[in-house]
Structure 1
Amino acid sequence: MLKRILLKDLTRNKVVTTTLFIFILLASMLVSSATNVIVELTDSMTSLFQKSHAPHYVQMYSGKLNQEEIDKFSSKTPCVKEQQTTELLNINGANIFLGNNGKNQANSVLENSFTKQNDKFDFLLDMDNQIMQIKDGEIGVPVYYMKQYNLKIGNTIKIINGNFFMEFTIKDFIRDAQMNPSLVTSKRFLISDNDWNTLKANIGEIEYLIEFLLNDINKINKFETLYQSTKLPQIGTSITYPIYQVLNALSDGIVVIIIILISILLIVISVLCLRFTLITTIEEDYREIGVMKAIGIQNSNIQNLYLTKYLLIASLASSLGYILSLFIGSFFTKNINLYMGTVNKSTFSILIPFIGSVLVFVSIVFFCKIILKKLKKISAVDALRSSKSINSVKYGYNLQLYKNKITNTNMFLGLNEVVRKFTTYGLLCFVYMICIFLMIVPLNFLNTIQSPEFITYMGAGKSDIRIDLQRTKQTQHLFNSILQNIKNDSDIEKYASFTTSSYKIKNKDGELENIKIENGNFKTFPLTYLKGSAPIKEDEIALSTINANELEKSIGDNLSVFSKNKELTLTVSGIYQDITYGGKTAKAMLPSEEDNILWNIINLNIKSGVNLEDKLKQYSIDYYPAKVTDMNNYISQTLGSVISQLRLVIKLSFIISVAISSLITAMFFKMLIAKDTSQTATMLSLGFSTRDIRIQYITRALLVLIIGVGLGIILANTLGQKISGLLLSGILNLQFVVNPLVIYILCPAILILTVFITITVISRAINKIKIISIIE
């Protein structure tokens, strides 16, 4: 009997059943996919770090090096397991020609280094995650360049500097636990010892990586504090193992977070649809439920009668969602497999995504049971004696037809129905709001990080051209020469120079630690400060949000900075957002110490009418070996992997939003038309045509859609901004850069067209309603 009732109910409401099934399936598939990405990301990154023996603490340094002092420190420090100092040969991009197209890397923001394979740890791995061995004439190229320039094994890499020429053949592509992500602007090429010595004798600048492996990874912070309290080399960037993990996980982590958010929204939509469906079904079966209660059937048995159907739908949809996630997994993990390698599936990695699907199933069943508790409120006597409903609609404001200023009566009646029963249409409005939210938030986020304005979230003011000059022996002379030439260049509208140096400060515990402070004129290319303003006096300092939080400093607080062996007390004048260098930067107007300078930057704007490309080419030649880039290229190269993953999310969110809007419209109005059969027959008897009634339903759908789209756009520009800002460490207040044509016209138009087509098709069911159906 139960089987017969179940089959009859499923066939009676095919659209409703199918819609609920697809919602639950999508939610299950995305939750399983998200957990699968998390597991695969964790396993692949763990494998990469283990096989490469990634260092726990690295200090970058350029200058004279006393290895004996480092060895003494290592031998006297019990927590140090291994220490090695790696030599990098930094070669300007203008001298590097990748592939067979003959194009150099002059306009690249990336710093390219050539190195030998290490002996103890920090190994560079091939695409099989094995320690790569290189012969003379061969080269291992970062996997980033393989993806960026479509390089292949056997292609050539050329190094040209005047009369000096060397050519290498790509043996394989390398995975580098330290420098894999695009956010890390340094990249290492692997060559043989002999080739490295040849290059060193003819080109490039030496930089050292002073690397440490510790006995206990949990003591990294203590070791960092200990190292920075010594007189060992500290002029340069220091990076720890956890930061390497964050940088490697960032771009794929963003995808995981967005997929989980979409999954949660789908579960919410599924529950709301389930509530609407169940209540409507119970209302339709109100008298039958009364009969069952009258003959002695218990509430629990009646509940199980309804619950069985949704148990079947939820279990099948969740199971199929999990199975589909196994097939589409590579769609989300492609980037992970490329940069970190593929790890064999374990029982654990298969079980966790399955648990995700089970959680979706359990949540659906849980809410279903809550909704079915309404059956207890039904009295057998009331159900048999009247047509009262457990969920009687409380009508809202009723518009008067004779006061109607809308010339089309059908449109007025459609509007009036939405106004009277807006609580009924609230579900539809909410779903449309979520659909437009899912469409435009990833688009706004992508548009924002691709825009020139995003440079302000990277701790720099907006400008046309950026010139980077890493610290070398000849840096100061070249830097001064560039500044003089720019000052005399009539094509330049304005410019500003900045020098970043390493200083020591007292942290919140009173211990000394290193900090990078950028010194210069911050008025020419101003930042937007979250609090306060830029430093304008020598006793002021501005801190990035992460530094301010870690140091527990706010506007007006004092900070001790040591310059030229003197303790200076600076007042915090402003707090700004910055995602570069782990988000830990500062700005001041301190005198730069020659020995502590890390790099120089010049920002400039060209005058209107001057060709930007020509200027970039000219400066790249004239100011060699400085890196000359326009801001668009700087952002796209630095955030390349994040941008690539966001495009993937945008495709996914568009497909899901269109599918949801179509399915929910079909389900909602299919049930509504069936429920309003008597009312429709009455209208037909009064002389309304089926076309008139269809126009009324179309008006209802489009009106609710417009309200939902409006609310969704508001929600995206408020809550969506805050959520997007949280995805990038160092940003507390992200402001979307919006493309009005796409966001306010194209996206709503897609939803409107989808809903219009769906409701037009569904409303054809009205043609089947006969006037005789009014007679009960």
Structure 2
Amino acid sequence: MRAIWALCRASLFRKKLQNGLIALLILLAALLLGTSATVLSNTDNLFNDVHKRTNGAHQILTITKGLHDPQQLYQWWNEQEGAAASAPVPFRYLSGVSYKGEELPNLYVMMMDTPAQSPSVDRLLFADGTGENAPKAGTAWIPTSLAYTQGIKPGDILSFKTGTGVFELQVSAVVIDLPFGAPFSTTSRIWMNHNDYMQNMEGQKGSDSYMLGLRFQDYERQGEYWAGFEQHFGIPYLEGKVEFEEITAFYLILNRIIGFVMIGLGIVMMFIALFTIGFTISDAILSNYRTIGILKSTGLSSARIVGAYALEYALLATAAIIPGLVISRFASALILNNSLSVLKTSDSNALALQEGEWLAIAAGMFLLLLVIGCVMSFSQKIKSVQPAQAIRYGMSEAQSGRMARRLGTSSGMTFGRWPIKAVIAFKHIVKNGKSSTLVVALAAVTTAVLVFSCVLLNSIVSIKQTAAQWGYDSSDISVSFYNKEAYSSEDFEALVKGDERVKDAGWLTLLNGVLPLEKGSQGSASISLSVLDGSYDNLGFTVLKGSNPVLKNEMAIGINVASRLGKEVGDTMEIYIDGRKHTMLVSGIYQAIANMSNSARIMADALNMSGVTGNHDADVAFINLHDSRIADQYVAELNGKYPQSVTAATQQTLLDSEFKEATGVLIVPLGLLALLFVGVTFMIIYSVCRISVWKESGTYGIYKSLGMTNASIRGAITLGVAVLTLIGAGLGIAIGIFGLPGLLKSLLLDYGIAKLPLILPPFGIAVASVISAAAASFGAWHASRWLARTSPRILIIE
């Protein structure tokens, strides 16, 4: 054991650079794997913890059409054992919310009549401000999703437009409002004092809508309750319903993307570390072949020499994995606090990590076992070392013979036919086959990470170009009608259709569709239904299969609806709309991140809603202009003409307001990953090239003695690495565009996206490739700098 420890200690102190690099690679692999494990395990747990503390709802029912009696619903649900319901809360929809004199874009609010007593289901948590039973007169509570994105704090004033004017409310508290407070939320609940609600909202035309939350002891049995509901009332539930999956979706999506990407890159980093270890051990055996022969001739067994290598790398791995896992806790906390800031409360400025520690430790132990296994595998070559041959030749007799034959044989590549730099570069590549393979692999991985980060961020920033592929329209302008009783739909439609600047327009009504109870299922299912008076194709809506609906008996459905029902283009399906049953032909299947593709599209003709007289029910109007450059001007005109009833905005404004948060959350981890791999590429190539240059120092000493300059020799070495890097960069571009996005496919499918819409930036991809090649080339150039400081005589002697 003493001999093993002596060999191990000598190797640790003799190869400080190599050992430090390998330890760093193992640390980074542990960091990535530990961070991904902690992020993924804590994302669900942090949400579930808040959901439990608020006695959160599993489903939110909204009664806006008067198709059900809210009190009857509340009474029936409270009679069900294992289910609980909150009392119906009156609310009104509004748009046109202003802060500091500027209207907040793409924001739709539900003005809630706050109950006098805290509800038993779907309670609020106070993140900032004083917690009371209800807001005081003249004040309101707003959700963290609105407050944090807009920088609103308690004491600030918000202005709200109604059909009769504008009223103001002071923010008295910021609350965690779980069902409508997720990241990217465009709908917020504003909790008002009862008297303020009666004064400002009851005077408006129209009637109150109602909302109640449902919570189940066993959520998996909710289908049984809805089946009982249909049997009791004789009809399925026909109004709006927000499912638990929709409530949780946008709390979890970004962290799941980050976590899965980190897992993939952590595995890649792990394989890079293992490959480097294998390369280093193989090189060490060749370099110390004579020493190993001497040790074996003195009686030291092969198993003990292998044990020395195993002990060395076990110590390195342990020393690297422990700090890697410790740092991963801080990295995980940084990511979670950035992406789930909407769940922070006043008593904690940071989200506390709850789980994932043992999972991260398990990942670290697995990494340690892999390292030891890799070392044991590559060091088995020691068993084949014959002491006599090793002492005499410094290698096996067969290897010595092959080398002699190569030296005696003239190769096809000569200095006379090729530039000398190219010859040196070529020989450097061929003679160091394993290191050349490692350089190509590193360049490929680094380029893939850079390209993927660039493509993903560019696709989000430039989402207007692919809005239709995310399930949105591609119109120039969107107009929302938040106070329909305060404007004339006939006048608005006549104004738009009579304007020569308008190319085409469409009126969209959002309804709730109910898929009837099918054989073998439990309860009916609700889907979001888009009813359009206009052309889906003209407004830019796309489908994956088939076509958008054109006839009144046609319907396009989201991919998750098609998957759940097993429907394809050409099939028929039944759906309840406003309490009436319709049989529709599936004309197309589309993807949409909104509502997680649990939605459908039909024509207004299907409900006899087409024409000027029917568009008073429209929720949104889409407008295309002949010249999209005047969209901002046209928006200003519409907002000025209908200040109390509509909110117009360009599509770019709406998309920016919704996806800028995603860009902000993703740019930090993706940027750090890119920098990490660039740094790793530089360090590994520096180490590998330094080893190979040292091994060939005698050859380079001869080159210098023949008159070659230091710059020429170093340039030739760098040229060889640059060629390998370009080969790797080509592979990396393909992996970054086609391979890494595939990691997200199964994840995004749950959110209603089957094909990730990517926008490839040629300039960005080129820059990513250049950065990768520059890091590798600089590593090679820097590794050979000692040649310039060493005389030819010393190089030849060494």
TM-score, shorter chain, exceeding 0.5? yes
Report if the CA contact (8 A) 1:24-1:317 is conserved: yes
> Larger deviation: 139-148 or 703-712?
139-148
- The one-letter amino acid paired with 1:483 is E
| 1:367 equivalent in alignment to 2:374 | yes
Question: What are the Cα deviations for residues 460-486 of structure 1, in whole angstroms up to 9, with x where unaligned?
Answer: 33222122346x7649x8555433322
Asked if the contact 1:155/1:170 (under 8 Å) is kept, the reply is: yes
SS in 2 for 1:334: helix
Residue 66 (structure 1) aligns with: 69
1:562: Cα distance to partner? 4.7
The answer as to 2:444 corresponding to 1:440 is no
Whether the aligned pair in 1 keeps the contact of 2:83 and 2:216 (CA below 8 Å) is: yes
Between the aligned partners of 2:616 and 2:499, the Cα distance in structure 1 is: 26
Cα gap change, 1:79 to 1:571, in 2 (>3 Å):
same
Aligned to 1:732: 754
Instruction: Please report how far the alpha carbon of residue 610 of structure 1 lies from its aligned counterpart in structure 2 after TM superposition.
Output: 4.5
Question: Using the alignment, how far apart are the partners of 2:170 and 2:633 within structure 1?
Answer: 32
Matched, 1:602 2:616: no
1:275 equivalent among 263, 274, 278: 278
Corresponding residue for residue 122 of structure 1: 122
Please tell me whether the aligned partners of residues 501 and 593 of structure 1 are also in contact (alpha carbons under 8 angstroms): no
Return the letter of the residue paired with 1:675.
Answer: K
- Give me the whole-angstrom Cα distance separating, in 1, the residues matched to 2:517 and 2:479: 32
1:141 counterpart letter in structure 2 = I
Identity among equivalent positions (%) equals 17
Counterpart of 2:46 in structure 1 is 44
SS at match of 1:618: helix
Matched position secondary structure for 2:127: coil
Checking the alignment, whether the CA contact within 8 Å between 2:128 and 2:173 is kept in structure 1 is: no
Asked whether the 8 Å contact 1:16–1:671 carries over to 2, the reply is no
- Structure 1 residue identity aligned to 2:106: S
SS of residue paired to 2:299: coil
CA contact (8 A) 1:540 1:573 kept: yes
Can you give the 5+ residue segments of structure 1 that lack an aligned partner in the other structure?
none
* SS of residue in 1 equivalent to 2:178: coil
Shift of 1:191: 2.9
**CA separation in 2, counterparts of 1:639 and 1:724?**
18
2:574 touches 2:583 (CA, 8 Å); kept in 1?
Answer: yes
Which residue of 451, 455, 458 corresponds with 2:470?
A: 458
- Is the CA contact 1:235–1:597 (under 8 Å) kept in the aligned structure 2? no
Distance 1:337 1:468, change over 3 A: closer
**Deviations 1:507-558 (CA, angstroms, capped at 9, x unpaired):** 7647643333334422213444333333333443322221111111223333
Summarize the Cα distance change of 1:235–1:454 in structure 2 as closer, same or farther, 3 Å threshold: farther
Q: 1:89 Cα shift?
A: 2.9
- The yes-or-no answer on 1:644 pairing with 2:664 is yes
Which one is further off, 626-635 or 565-574? 565-574
Q: CA deviation at 1:73?
A: 2.9
* Cα deviation code 1:345-400 (max 9, x no counterpart): 588554444444333333323323332233334444553454446998999x9762
Q: CA deviation at 1:506?
A: 4.6
Any idea what SS the aligned residue of 1:401 has?
coil
Matches of 1:253 and 1:645, distance apart in 2? 12
Structure 2 counterparts to residues 234-633 of structure 1, below 5 A: 234-335=237-338, 338-341=341-344, 350-388=357-395, 400-401=413-414, 404=417, 408-415=419-426, 417-418=428-429, 424-451=435-462, 452-469=464-481, 474=485, 478-506=488-516, 509=519, 512-520=524-532, 521-562=535-576, 568-589=582-603, 591-592=606-607, 600-608=619-627, 610-623=629-642, 624-633=644-653
Shift of 1:665: 1.4
The secondary structure found in structure 2 opposite 1:611 is: helix
Contact 1:235/1:596 (CA < 8 Å) preserved in 2? no
SS at match of 2:125: coil
Please name the residue that 1:710 is paired with: 730
Q: Does residue 192 in structure 1 map to residue 193 in structure 2?
A: yes
Q: Aligned partners of 1:210 and 1:322: how far apart in 2?
A: 44
Question: What amino acid sits opposite 1:458 in the alignment?
Answer: W
**1:91, 1:114 within 8 Å by CA — same for their partners in 2?**
no
* CA contact 1:85–1:209 (8 Å) conserved in 2: yes
Q: How do 1:1-40 residues align onto structure 2 when only pairs under 5 Å count?
A: 2-40=4-42
Query: Does the aligned pair in 2 maintain the 1:61–1:233 contact within 8 Å?
Result: no
Question: Secondary structure of the residue that 1:268 maps to in structure 2?
Answer: helix
Q: How far apart are 1:173 and its partner, in Å?
A: 1.3
Does the 8 A contact of 2:260 with 2:743 survive in 1?
no
CA shift, 1:579, in A, is 0.8
1:20 is aligned with what amino acid?
I
State the alpha-carbon separation in 1 of the partners of residues 235 and 212 from structure 2: 10
Larger displacement relative to structure 2 (35-44 or 665-674)? 35-44
Q: How far apart in 2 are the matches of 1:646 and 1:585? A: 28
Match of 1:220 in 2: 222
Give the deviation of 1:129 after TM superposition: 11
SS at structure 1 position matched to 2:103: coil
Q: Give me the whole-angstrom Cα distance separating, in 2, the residues matched to 1:290 and 1:111.
A: 80
Instruction: Work out the CA distance in 2 between the residues paired with 1:43 and 1:592.
Output: 44
- C-alpha spacing 1:570/1:62, structure 2 compared with 1 (3 Å): closer
Distance change in 2, residues 1:625/1:373 (3 Å): farther
Could you tell me which residue of structure 1 aligns to residue 157 of structure 2?
A: 156
The amino acid that maps onto 1:169 is Q
Partners of 2:554 and 2:586 within 8 A in 1: yes
- Cα distance in 2 for partners of 1:49, 1:644 equals 25
TM superposition shift of 1:685:
4.5
- Residue in structure 2 matched with residue 748 of structure 1 by the alignment: 769
Between the aligned partners of 1:111 and 1:167, the Cα distance in structure 2 is 14
Offset of 1:284 from its aligned partner? 0.9
Taking the TM superposition and a 5 Å limit, the aligned residue runs for 1:64-103 are 64=66, 66-74=69-77, 77-93=80-96, 96-98=97-99, 101-103=100-102
Superposition map of 1:134-213 within 5 A: 134-159=135-160, 161=162, 166-203=167-204, 206-213=208-215
Query: Within 1, Cα distance between the matches of 2:414 and 2:230?
Result: 80
Which amino acid is the alignment partner of residue 286 of structure 2? E
Measure, in 2, the Cα distance between the counterparts of 1:371 and 1:131: 64
Q: 2:109 matched to which residue of 1?
A: 111
Per-residue deviation, 1:187: 0.6
Pairwise CA distance, 1:306: 0.9
Residues 1:695 and 2:707 aligned together: no
* Partners of 1:217 and 1:130 in 2: CA distance: 33
Q: Which runs of 5+ in 2 are unaligned?
A: none
Secondary structure at the counterpart of residue 572 of structure 1: strand
Q: SS in structure 2 opposite 1:81?
A: strand
Q: Residue 176 of structure 1 aligns to which amino acid in structure 2?
A: D
SS of the equivalent of 2:607 reads coil
TM-score of the pair, normalised by structure 1: 0.89
Aligned partner letter, 2:509: T
- 8 Å CA contact 1:181–1:641 kept in 2: the answer is no
- 1:150-201 deviation digits (Å, cap 9, x = unpaired): 2233222233558755443323311111112133321112233333332323
Q: Indicate if the aligned counterparts of 1:658 and 1:754 stay in contact, CA closer than 8 A.
A: yes
Deviates more, 1:566-575 or 1:760-769: 566-575
Q: 2 CA distance for matches of 1:347 and 1:189?
A: 31
CA distance in 2, matches of 1:597, 1:505: 26
Q: TM-score, length-normalised on structure 2?
A: 0.87
Please give the alpha-carbon distance, in whole angstroms, between the structure 2 residues aligned to 1:490 and 1:269.
Answer: 62
- Secondary structure at the aligned position of 1:127 is classed as strand
Q: Which whole-Å CA distance do the structure 2 matches of 1:543 and 1:484 have between them?
A: 31
